[in-house]
């Protein structure tokens, strides 16, 4: 069983300086979801909130099997329907399972039925306030899979329907279909190339696995109009329930970012001046094995980004030069 653009890895984030704080719990609303996911160091708090509020038609997420009764309790409290898909067990290398398996551009997992689940296996669960929308998401939210020696890829129409069922705008679904092939494109760079004008913090999904994002998809542009309209609606509702959380999210989303790849970025407390960021703090965002430069950034106070090269400075002394692959290592300035 394969999973496009989702990772079952239970992330941990490195913390080494006061400054950027990526921990913030809601006071009350959806606090149970936050606590459950936070024990694994990641979560999609805002996506869960958006589903409970009925703004996001459906939501899918992963939980260790041992938490099933807790999940049932949360669903009862927030009036959510849920449906369990397959159960996932990590399996990074499928090259021995299928010829060409090492070239599959996706996360790899074993899929087992619920009846065979072990305590730490990952449950893939769909949630919605509406039964029809839940069923629509479940039917189209299947993963490409390997059966026998054949990889069965998901047809385009099912990707479109699944994106629609999760409330993603059509422009962003289509963009994802065209550019989310890691062997050819850096999707996040293509999004930047497709951005006319200033990047908007509402479209910032770099921290999507760390609770600080209003959206969970990679948008078609960093100021996608449909995304901004969706976030505006959601944010207005959230403001009434968790105003402090909204303020915290807005602050974090406005921080400048240096992106190397999906799940491989750094956020900075600092100021962007053309291709340079002068900063007082930096944090890695992504999956831990990708973090190659936290120690270097921690020793620096500014970073300059060129084509195919990123340089880190301390008091104008260069302390690190990083050669990057094409279209990797670029700044996105989400500040006002």
Site residues (vs Zn ion, CB under 5 A):
169, 171-172, 220, 224
Sheet holding 264-273, edge to edge: 317-323, 309-314, 302-306, 276-286, 264-273, 257-261, 330-332
**In the complex, what is the shortest distance from the CB of residue 146 to Zn ion, in angstroms, rounded to a whole number?**
32
Q: Please tell me the distance from the alpha carbon of residue 125 to that of residue 129, in angstroms, as a whole number.
A: 14
**In the complex, what is the shortest distance from the CB of residue 173 to Zn ion, in angstroms, rounded to a whole number?**
8
Q: Please tell me the distance from the alpha carbon of residue 17 to that of residue 188, in angstroms, as a whole number.
A: 27
Q: Please tell me the distance from the alpha carbon of residue 65 to that of residue 141, in angstroms, as a whole number.
A: 19
Q: Which is nearer to Zn ion, 176 or 268 (CB)?
A: 176
Q: Which is nearer to Zn ion, 47 or 302 (CB)?
A: 47
CB of 276 within 8 A of CB of 295? no
Using the CB atoms, write b or e for 68-103: b if 16+ within 10 Å.
Answer: eeebeebeeebebbbbbbbbbbeeeebeeeeeebee
Q: Which is nearer to Zn ion, 83 or 208 (CB)?
A: 208
Q: Which residues fall within 8 angstroms of residue 313, CB to CB, at 6 or more apart? A: 300, 301, 302, 303, 304, 319
**In the complex, what is the shortest distance from the CB of residue 75 to Zn ion, in angstroms, rounded to a whole number?**
30
**In the complex, what is the shortest distance from the CB of residue 172 to Zn ion, in angstroms, rounded to a whole number?**
4
Question: Which helix (H) or strand (E) covers residue 271, if one does?
Answer: strand 264-273
**In the complex, what is the shortest distance from the CB of residue 176 to Zn ion, in angstroms, rounded to a whole number?**
9
Q: Could you give the 3-state DSSP secondary structure of residue 307?
A: coil
Q: Which is nearer to Zn ion, 151 or 215 (CB)?
A: 215
**In the complex, what is the shortest distance from the CB of residue 200 to Zn ion, in angstroms, rounded to a whole number?**
12
Q: Which is nearer to Zn ion, 42 or 208 (CB)?
A: 208
Q: Which is nearer to Zn ion, 94 or 224 (CB)?
A: 224
Check residue 100 and give left, alpha or beta (phi > 0: left; psi -120 to 50: alpha). Answer: left
DSSP type of residue 305: E
Q: Which is nearer to Zn ion, 174 or 311 (CB)?
A: 174
Q: Which is nearer to Zn ion, 5 or 38 (CB)?
A: 5
**In the complex, what is the shortest distance from the CB of residue 32 to Zn ion, in angstroms, rounded to a whole number?**
32
Q: Please tell me the distance from the alpha carbon of residue 90 to that of residue 109, in angstroms, as a whole number.
A: 5
Among 270, 256, 204, smallest CA distance to 19 is for 270
**In the complex, what is the shortest distance from the CB of residue 256 to Zn ion, in angstroms, rounded to a whole number?**
22
Q: CA dist 219 to 4, 207, 232, Å?
A: 16, 13, 15
Q: Which is nearer to Zn ion, 34 or 162 (CB)?
A: 162
DSSP type of residue 308: T
């Amino acid at each position: 069983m394969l999973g496009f653009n989702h990772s079952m890895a239970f992330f941990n984030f490195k913390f080494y300086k006061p400054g950027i704080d990526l921990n913030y719990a809601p006071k009350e609303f959806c606090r149970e979801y936050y606590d459950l996911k936070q024990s694994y160091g990641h979560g999609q708090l805002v996506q869960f909130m958006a589903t409970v509020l009925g703004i996001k038609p459906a939501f899918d997420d992963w939980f260790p099997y041992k938490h099933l009764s807790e999940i049932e309790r949360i669903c009862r409290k927030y009036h959510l329907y849920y449906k369990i898909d397959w159960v996932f067990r990590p399996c990074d290398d499928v090259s021995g399972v299928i010829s060409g398996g090492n070239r599959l551009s996706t996360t790899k997992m074993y899929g087992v039925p619920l009846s065979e689940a072990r305590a730490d296996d990952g449950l893939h669960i769909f949630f919605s306030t509406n039964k029809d929308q839940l069923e629509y998401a479940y039917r189209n939210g299947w993963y490409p899979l390997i059966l026998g020696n054949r990889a069965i890829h998901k047809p385009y129409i099912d990707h479109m329907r699944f994106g629609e069922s999760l409330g993603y705008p059509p422009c962003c679904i289509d963009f994802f279909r065209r550019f989310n092939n890691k062997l050819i494109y850096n999707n996040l760079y293509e999004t930047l190339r497709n951005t006319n004008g200033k990047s908007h913090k509402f479209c910032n999904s770099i921290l999507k696995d760390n609770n600080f994002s209003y959206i969970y998809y990679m948008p078609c542009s960093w100021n996608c109009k449909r995304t901004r309209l969706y976030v505006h609606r959601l944010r207005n509702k959230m403001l009434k329930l968790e105003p402090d959380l909204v303020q915290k999210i807005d602050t974090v989303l406005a921080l400048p970012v240096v992106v190397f790849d999906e799940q491989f970025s750094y956020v900075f407390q600092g100021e962007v001046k053309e291709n340079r960021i002068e900063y007082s703090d930096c944090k890695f965002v992504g999956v831990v094995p990708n973090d190659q430069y936290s120690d270097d950034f921690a020793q620096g106070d500014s970073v300059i980004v060129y084509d195919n090269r990123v340089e880190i400075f301390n008091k104008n002394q260069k302390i690190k030069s990083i050669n990057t692959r094409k279209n990797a290592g670029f700044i996105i300035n989400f500040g006002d």
